[in-house]
Structures are given as C-alpha cells and as structure tokens.
Amino acid sequence: MRNRFLSVLWMMGIVFALASCADTAKQQTTIPDEVTLSKAVLLDKIKGGWAGQTIACTYGGPTEFRYQGTMIQDYIPIYWPKGQIKHYYDRSPGLYDDVYMDLTFVDVFDRLGLDAPVDSFAVAFANAPYPLWHANQAARYNILNGIMPPESGSWKYSAHADDIDYQIEADYAGLMSPGMPNTASQFSDKIGHIMNSGNGWYGGVYVGAMYSMAFLSDDVEFVVEEALKVIPEETRYYKCMADVIKWYHQYPDDWKQTWALIEKYYSEDFGCPEGVFNPLNIDALINSAYVVVGLLYGKGDFSRTIDIATRCGQDSDCNPATAGGILGTIIGYDAIPEYWKENVYEVEDRDFKYTNISLNKVYQMSFNQALQVIEREGGQVLEDKVVIKTQRPQPVAVEESFPNMYPVKRIDFRKQVSDWEEATFEGTGIALDCSVKAERSDYVAVVEVYIDGQLDATRKLPALSHDRALEIYYNPMLKKGVHKLMLKWINPEKGASVYCASSIVYSDTPYVNPFK
C-alpha cells in the first residue's frame, strides 16, 4: 500500500511538473497585457540594437554583393580584425547607409516630436549629404523633383519600389516602440512609403515588428513568428517568410537546405532594373528571407546568427546588420560577446559620416523616444522602470508593387542619347538606365521622351551624383502593344554626355520557358 501511495504521489508530481512546463511554454508563446522593464534593461536593449546592427554590417561589408545567387561556403574565411569598424568609418563610410538613414529619422523625431509630418522626414532625407542607391536614390530624385510621399516610393514612380531599402532602415521604428509592434507599423506607414511600397515596404514593417517584439521575449522563434502577424497573410511576402519558418522546422540543423528552397521558389526579381535578368537580387523578399534564416538558425548565438545571415549572400552586409540588430535587442548590449564589441568601443563617440550623431548619442536619443512612445500609448514611465502596455500584432494594409507586370526582355542600347535613333519595343512598360557626366557638377541634362511620336515626359537628369536619376525614363503603365521610343537631348553642351546602356521591357504576362 505504501509503495502504491508513493507511486501515486510520484505520478502526481510528474503531472504537476508537466502542467507547470505547459504553463511556462504557454507564457512563452503569448503576450501579456503589460510588461515592466527597468530603465537600465530598456537602455541595454536599445544599445544592443544599434551596436548589433553596426557590428554585423561591418562584418558583412567585405562580401556585399560579391556572392549573388550563391552562398558563401564555410571554407571561405570572413575576417574580423581589430579596428575593423574604425577602418570602415575612416575609409568607406558609405557602408553604413543601414545606420545613417535611420539616424535621419531619429533626428527628425528628436527635433520635431513624435507627430512630425512625413514631409519633414522626406525633405531631410532627400537633402542629406550622404550617398544613396536603389529605392532610396529613386525616392530622393522624386522628392527633389516634386513627387512627394507616398508617391515617391510607389512602383508607379520608382522601378525600385520592392528593393531592400526601407528594410535596412526600419530599425528605429521598433527600437522606439518597445513591445508595441502596431505603433512601429504606424511609424513605418508614414516613413517607409517615402522610398518603398509593396514588398519593399513590408520588409521594413516586418523588421520594425521584430525589433519591437525583441523587448518582450528572449525566444528568437517567438519573435520571428509573432512579428510576422503584422504582414497580411494573402501576400507573397508573408508566404515567403512563413515558408522559411516552415522549412526551419523541417530542417532545424541545415540552414543550407532552407537557403536552397528559398532560391528555388523566391529568387525572381521583378523590379530593380539592375537585378532583372542578372544574378543580383536587391529585392526585399529574398533578403528578408535571409535575415530570418540567420535569426532562426543562429538560435540566439550572436556570432552564428550574423555569420549565417552573411553567408546567405546577396546584400550580405545589410542582412546580417538587421539580424544582428534584432538579436542585439533581444539579448542586450551587455550580452554581445566582447570579441565583437571591442571594435565598437573605439567608435562609439564618433559621429557617423554625414551626420552629427554617434552611437553613444543615438543610444540616448532612441531611449528618450521610447519613453515618449511608452507614455503616449498608455504605459507608465516611473523613476527607475517603465510599464509597457503591450500590443498584439495586427496586419497592415494589403498592397502590391508591379501588379500584373513582368520583365520580359532586356534591350542593350549602349549609346549616347545624342546618337539615339528611334527604337521599337513591345510590352506594357519600359525602364531605361541612365548615366550623365559633365564638366560642370551643377549641369542638368534635359531629355524629352517621345512614345509613338507623342511627347510623354521631359526628364531633368542631374550630373551631380547626389541628385542623379537612376533611369532616363520609367513608365510601367503603357497600353499593351508595339511602341516606338525616341529620345531628344534638349540642352547638350561641351564636355557633357547622357548615356543609356540598356532597358528592361515589361508586359502583363510573364515569359514562359518552352522547354520547361
């Protein structure tokens, strides 16, 4: 009898233990109504986000776009010498477009408050002295020529609308919205549409949500999966990220298998003319997938996380920067290994080039903004702690760039506009790349674009790199059919040239491989 009684107690103990474990697991997969953090922990996480981003961007810097459509194999060393961050600060500060773009937005919030109008962000970004590329540069050109957000980032006015740009600069939104992913999405709705739409915008919305959720859990899988709820399920972006999560659960110890499946199903680039028909893929879709691969397969280890995100290739400085920033927020600045952090110390008081903001300064700026957002959203800021009214992620609006628009042909022109002869193409849209050179830095070429004998656009094309147009002409909404294209350079001058290397032709139906 005594043995039976003890057996019953033993079994009851197991049941109780299992129930306790179930409760614990349940707590790890739900969001409480409010969370209390000490101010020290809040600041430590914010610092971890900014430092983690800077470290990982630097780590991936030497490999950026050197591996397109292929992973960086394990036998290929990626070095981390002492002084590496200082080296890039000194010699290649443009690497940190991930960071200095964010800093523009942080600065506007600091000067004008949480409700600063979108035009203030757009004008500050467009006139900032730093160099830009892809969707950011397309938006800068649009804004400087009177096309303001959200049109400045729309696929109707930018062939780069789905590019990675807002994804790499949305960190600020989550860091200032701890535990409040929907608030982060509201900031992204305003600012992200300056330079992106569709998948390009979703990339930043998702990143902002992951940063926000990083304040609520140290479970990377929970952060990745819960944050995805801000993306509408019917979108291709959601499907891609959900597939990456699914493949991770199927192949939890083989990131390369998941990488191969991403390549198989999601490697098309419909937007960026540089990437279409080329191995380069700057699309947010696939690069977001690489961020998720790094986070999930890194399993909370900072070194492994940024290494995997880098070795996925393509934009292999930006992707580890995002993954490193999110994980840095989850674990906090103090928990980032000294091996990585020692290179940060010597630059933390140095302003990023083109800005007057250093890491030490932005730590405090983001912390102050987070305190404001916590209070505005119903939380409390007490003497030594904060009480956050948490939010359950809600999906943002459904939008799609380039609907029913497919690249079907590349036409290589390789000629000066001064030598242009009428060209013929068949489709629903076209994008012509652009290169303007002049002896005068303030020279602006004026080119008239005729479609089917009618003047369709007059394009102002600055020689100055800061103000440059990425395309001589981009029109995604032509009537389907055969079109004649003529360019006329209105104001040629000695020492100036306008060159078009190639164009991408779009149609409303994709090319079908007859040998498939």
Per DSSP, 481 falls in state E
Interatomic CA distance for residues 379 and 389, integer angstroms: 5
C-alpha of 480 from chain center: 33
Interatomic CA distance for residues 210 and 212, integer angstroms: 5
41 shares its domain with 124:
yes
The answer to the question of residue 352 being in a domain is: yes
The answer to the question of residue 63 being in a domain is: yes
Number of folded domains that form the chain: 2
Q: Is the dihedral of CA 10, 11, 16, 20 positive or negative?
A: positive
289 shares its domain with 321:
yes
165 shares its domain with 102:
yes
Q: Is 73 exposed, middle or buried (0-12, 13-18, 19+ CB in 10 A)?
A: exposed
The answer to the question of residue 229 being in a domain is: yes
The answer to the question of residue 361 being in a domain is: yes
Interatomic CA distance for residues 491 and 307, integer angstroms: 50
C-alpha of 303 from chain center: 21
Q: Which residues contact 512 (CB under 8 A, 6 or more apart)?
A: none
Answer for the pair 211, 178: CB distance below 8 angstroms, yes or no.
no
473 shares its domain with 503:
yes
The pLDDT, as a whole number, for residue 270 is: 83
Domain finish residue from 354, 389, 424: 389
Answer for the pair 337, 59: CB distance below 8 angstroms, yes or no.
no
Tell me which residue range forms the domain holding 236: 32-389
pLDDT tens digit at each of 516 positions of the chain: 334 333 433 333 333 333 333 333 334 468 999 999 999 999 999 999 999 999 999 999 999 999 999 999 999 999 999 999 999 999 999 999 999 999 999 999 999 999 999 999 999 999 999 999 999 999 999 999 999 999 999 999 999 999 999 999 999 999 999 999 999 999 999 999 999 999 999 999 999 999 999 999 999 999 999 999 999 999 999 999 999 999 999 999 999 999 999 999 999 888 899 999 999 999 999 999 999 999 999 999 999 999 999 999 999 999 999 999 999 999 999 999 999 999 999 999 999 999 999 999 999 999 999 999 999 999 999 999 999 999 999 999 999 999 999 999 999 999 999 999 999 999 999 999 999 999 999 999 999 999 999 999 999 999 999 999 999 999 999 999 999 999 999 999 999 999 999 999 999 999 999 998
Determine the 3-state secondary structure of 455 from DSSP.
Answer: strand
Neighbouring-strand partners of residue 489: 447
The answer to the question of residue 7 being in a domain is: no
The answer to the question of residue 333 being in a domain is: yes
